[in-house]
Amino acid sequence: MCTVIVHVPETAGGSVRLLAVRDEDPNRPWQPLGLWWPEYPGVAGVRDVRAGGAWLASDAASGRLAVMLNRADTFTGDRRQLESRGGLVLESVAGRSPREPRTAGFNLVEIDGPRVTVTTWDGESLGIEELLPGTHMIEHRAVDDPESARTSRWLPEFQDAAPRSGGLHDEWWGGWLDVLARSGELSPDDDAAIIRDNRSHGYPTLSLLACVASVSAEGAKTLFAPLRTPGEWNALHFVPPVQPE
């Protein structure tokens, strides 16, 4: 039940801004934002150790970024036969968006320079939506879904705090972090919470980390910050991708 906030610029010369919060089982091993894939040179991402793919990944030089959010699907077969969704993130950043996925359901946010699309898969049909300029919120439902407690509560505040200008390397995310901090005052099992503990909803996942990214035709800059305790808000201090030894 991850959450993504994305601001699409008015002009092709502007920068896309993104804030993504990852929910995952704390017992599933992962590696922080880093250059983990020699077969994808220049791609930095948050790596899922078990399957080898990425939750979020970006290519600083090409100005591409992708981040994966799970969603319900109609698949009724043996899920052990499905491929990992994390591989789609790496392929997307390499310029190959999914068209015939063999995975569980997803919302895949894809950024290419100033253009943002959301590719949706429900197990039967694939949908592609290009986002209009402005600030949007995506989780496990439709984009800007008014039926979502999370979206209806916080999207107006993210819209009011959206960064309106600045370059690729500015620390533009302060207003959004203030909103995220206010959301962290809710109980983590509240339907409207962004920093979440989903165990009471039947899922073993808690909020683990956040990333911010600025993407434009000039390139992409992505930063990373873990939560000290899964499912509990703390002030975030974003750092660049790590360099594997």
CATH number of the domain to which 88 belongs: 3.60.60.10
CA gap 134, 163 in Å, rounded? 10
| Helix 149-160 / helix 174-183 crossing angle, nearest 10 deg | 150
DSSP, collapsed to helix, strand or coil, labels residue 93 as helix
Number of domains observed in the structure of the chain: 1
Whether 239 is in a domain gets the answer: no
pLDDT, tens digit only, all 245 positions of the chain: 899 999 999 999 999 999 999 999 999 999 999 999 999 999 999 999 999 999 999 999 999 999 999 998 888 778 888 999 999 999 999 999 999 999 999 999 999 999 999 999 998 899 999 999 999 999 999 999 999 999 999 999 999 999 876 666 678 999 999 999 999 999 999 999 999 999 999 999 999 999 999 999 999 999 999 999 999 999 999 999 998 76
pLDDT given for residue 91 in this prediction: 97
Do 154 and 194 meet the contact criterion of CB atoms below 8 Å apart?
Answer: yes
CA gap 181, 179 in Å, rounded? 5
Whether 161 is in a domain gets the answer: yes
Tell me how far apart the 2 most distant CA atoms of the chain are, in Å.
48
pLDDT given for residue 170 in this prediction: 77
Supply the DSSP symbol for 178. Answer: H
pLDDT given for residue 168 in this prediction: 65
Do 33 and 26 meet the contact criterion of CB atoms below 8 Å apart?
Answer: no
pLDDT given for residue 162 in this prediction: 93
Whether 203 is in a domain gets the answer: yes
pLDDT given for residue 132 in this prediction: 98
Do 15 and 110 meet the contact criterion of CB atoms below 8 Å apart?
Answer: no
Dihedral sign (CA 69, 225, 66, 128): positive
Pairing of strands 106-112, 115-121: antiparallel
Do 24 and 6 meet the contact criterion of CB atoms below 8 Å apart?
Answer: no
Whether 240 is in a domain gets the answer: no
Whether 236 is in a domain gets the answer: no
State which residues form the domain around 165. Answer: 3-226
pLDDT given for residue 166 in this prediction: 66
The single residue listed with the structure tokens 């946010």 is 109
pLDDT given for residue 167 in this prediction: 64
CA gap 219, 221 in Å, rounded? 7
Whether 242 is in a domain gets the answer: no
With 0-12 / 13-18 / 19 or more C-beta atoms within 10 angstroms meaning exposed / middle / buried, residue 216 is buried
pLDDT given for residue 244 in this prediction: 77
CA angle 208, 213, 219 (to 5 degrees): 145
Whether 241 is in a domain gets the answer: no
Residues linked to residue 210 through DSSP beta bridges, in sequence order = 21, 225
Whether 62 is in a domain gets the answer: yes
pLDDT given for residue 73 in this prediction: 83
Phi-psi category of residue 186: left, alpha or beta, with phi > 0 → left and psi -120 to 50 → alpha: beta
